[in-house]
């Protein structure tokens, strides 16, 4: 994907080649560490015995499950493991866990990279109505997120593909994938009923569904409120956060660096971010998670809709400057 999206004037070819080297060791360390953290919180939740501290454990457990999407995302780019088939294998497993089929996600995500912030062709924007204050809160909470994910799998299972960014030669694959996912979920449901077990609900679905908002903080900050131009540094935003969160998010807070050079693996994005900043002379545009949410909620509350802001301009710039005024007609 670097050939399509990269800005080679920002970094030397030799430096980019070095940063783009994949590693099975790094991939298994990251995935293994993330899985181990989920196992620890899951066992702790099981041993909590209904005590009050089961609540924070439940929330952490669900957050860790949701942030597995960062791994699925990187595996769609084939950047987690040097061995290509590992990326596909584990990407499919994570896609099943997250109710987000891997092939569909990859098609949608590549359209997002190729046409970032193009409302008709960006896989994350095509078909999405402009946010209002209410619809944004629903998406942030995860309610409309999960509704759209589940209904899409059901629709694919019926052989219906409406997404404009899915080419005709890929439709049969996403239909088959949707049907396999649905069959797998029905098997889990049947086994749960047969064994009268609540395990799938307690340790997987409930924590994942309830805590989606924690991962939506990352999803919403990356592009919303930025320009709908093709300039990566005007349409993509990085996140100011701490080392623990960056590790849990597989370094996706370095999002501008990722969009500039999608072929660079997650464990080298910090170095890439620094190299790009040095090449440009300024750091990437960035905000804090909560600072961004305060800004976007205030802007949508005052404007009524994101359509009140010019599409070719940045309207959520920094959490240390005033909220932009809206000029009503």
DSSP character string of 13-33? HHHHHHHT---HHHHHHHHHH
H or E, element range at 97: helix 84-97
pLDDT confidence of 317, banded at 50, 70, 90?
A: confident
Q: Give residue 328's pLDDT.
A: 42
- Tens of pLDDT, residue by residue over 115-139, are 999 999 999 999 899 999 999 999 9
Could you give the 3-state DSSP secondary structure of residue 201?
A: helix
- Helices 54-66 and 68-76: angle between axes, nearest 10 degrees: 10
Q: How far apart are CA 251 and CA 74, in angstroms?
A: 10
- Tens of pLDDT, residue by residue over 151-189, are 999 999 999 999 999 999 999 999 999 999 999 999 999
**What is the number of alpha carbons within 13 Å of residue 187 lying toward its C-beta?**
7
0.75 surpassed by pTM: yes
- Tens of pLDDT, residue by residue over 267-284, are 999 999 999 999 889 999
- Tens of pLDDT, residue by residue over 9-41, are 789 999 999 999 999 999 999 999 999 999 999
Q: Give residue 49's pLDDT.
A: 84
Termini Cα distance of the chain: 42
pLDDT confidence of 87, banded at 50, 70, 90?
A: very high
Q: Give residue 318's pLDDT.
A: 78
Q: What residue spans define the domains of the chain?
A: 2-308
Residue 74's nearest CA partner among 127, 1, 130 is 1
Residue 313's nearest CA partner among 194, 222, 251, 231 is 231
- Assess whether pLDDT exceeds 70 at residue 5: no
- Tens of pLDDT, residue by residue over 212-240, are 999 999 999 999 999 999 999 999 999 99
Q: How far apart are CA 164 and CA 170, in angstroms?
A: 12
- Assess whether pLDDT exceeds 80 at residue 329: no
| Residue-averaged pLDDT of the chain | 94
**122 close to 111: Cβ distance less than 8 angstroms:** yes
Q: Give residue 46's pLDDT.
A: 95
pLDDT confidence of 323, banded at 50, 70, 90?
A: low
Q: Give residue 98's pLDDT.
A: 98
Q: How far apart are CA 298 and CA 286, in angstroms?
A: 18
Residue 20's nearest CA partner among 11, 30, 31, 32 is 11
pLDDT confidence of 3, banded at 50, 70, 90?
A: very low
Sequential DSSP letters for 264-288: S-GGGHHHHHHHHHHHHSSPPPEEE
pLDDT confidence of 321, banded at 50, 70, 90?
A: low
| Burial readout 32-53 (b: 16 or more C-beta within 10 A, e: otherwise) | eebeebbeebbeebeeeeeeee
Residue 105's nearest CA partner among 41, 43, 53, 148 is 148
Residue 157's nearest CA partner among 124, 185, 193, 123 is 185
Higher pLDDT, 65 or 280: 65
Q: How far apart are CA 227 and CA 17, in angstroms?
A: 30
- Tens of pLDDT, residue by residue over 252-261, are 999 999 999 9
Q: What are phi and psi of 8, to 5 degrees?
A: -75, -5
Q: Give residue 1's pLDDT.
A: 46
H or E, element range at 240: strand 238-240
- Tens of pLDDT, residue by residue over 302-315, are 999 999 999 999 99
Q: Give residue 7's pLDDT.
A: 60
- Assess whether pLDDT exceeds 60 at residue 4: no
């Amino acid at each position: 994907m670097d050939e399509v999206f990269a800005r080679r004037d920002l970094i030397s070819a030799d430096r980019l080649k070095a940063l783009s080297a994949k590693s099975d060791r790094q991939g298994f360390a990251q995935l293994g560490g993330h899985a181990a953290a989920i196992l620890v919180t899951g066992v702790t939740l099981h041993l909590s015995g209904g005590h009050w501290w089961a609540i924070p454990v439940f929330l952490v457990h669900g957050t860790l499950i949701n942030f597995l999407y960062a791994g699925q995302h990187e595996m769609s780019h084939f950047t987690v493991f040097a061995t290509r088939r590992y990326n596909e294998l584990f990407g499919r497993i994570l896609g099943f866990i997250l109710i987000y089929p891997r092939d569909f996600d990859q098609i949608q995500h590549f359209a997002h990279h190729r046409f970032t912030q193009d409302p008709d062709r960006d896989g994350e924007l095509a078909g999405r109505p402009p946010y209002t204050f209410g619809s944004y809160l629903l998406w942030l909470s995860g309610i409309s997120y999960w509704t759209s994910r589940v209904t899409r799998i059901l629709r694919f299972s019926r052989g219906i593909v409406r997404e404009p960014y899915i080419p005709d030669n890929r439709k049969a694959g996403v239909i088959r994938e949707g049907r396999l996912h649905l069959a797998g979920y029905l098997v889990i449901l049947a086994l749960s009923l047969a064994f009268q077990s609540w395990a799938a609900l307690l340790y997987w679905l409930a924590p994942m569904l309830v805590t989606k908002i924690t991962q939506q903080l990352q999803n919403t900050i990356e592009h919303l409120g930025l320009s709908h131009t093709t300039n990566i540094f005007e349409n993509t935003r990085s996140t100011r956060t701490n080392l623990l969160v960056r590790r849990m998010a597989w370094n996706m807070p370095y999002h501008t660096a990722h969009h500039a050079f999608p072929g660079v693996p997650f464990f080298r994005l910090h170095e890439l971010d620094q190299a790009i900043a040095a090449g440009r002379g300024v750091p990437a545009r960035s905000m804090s998670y909560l600072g961004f949410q305060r800004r976007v909620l205030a802007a949508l509350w005052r404007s009524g809709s994101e359509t009140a802001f010019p599409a070719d301009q940045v309207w959520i710039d920094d959490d240390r400057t005033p909220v932009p005024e809206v000029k009503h007609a």
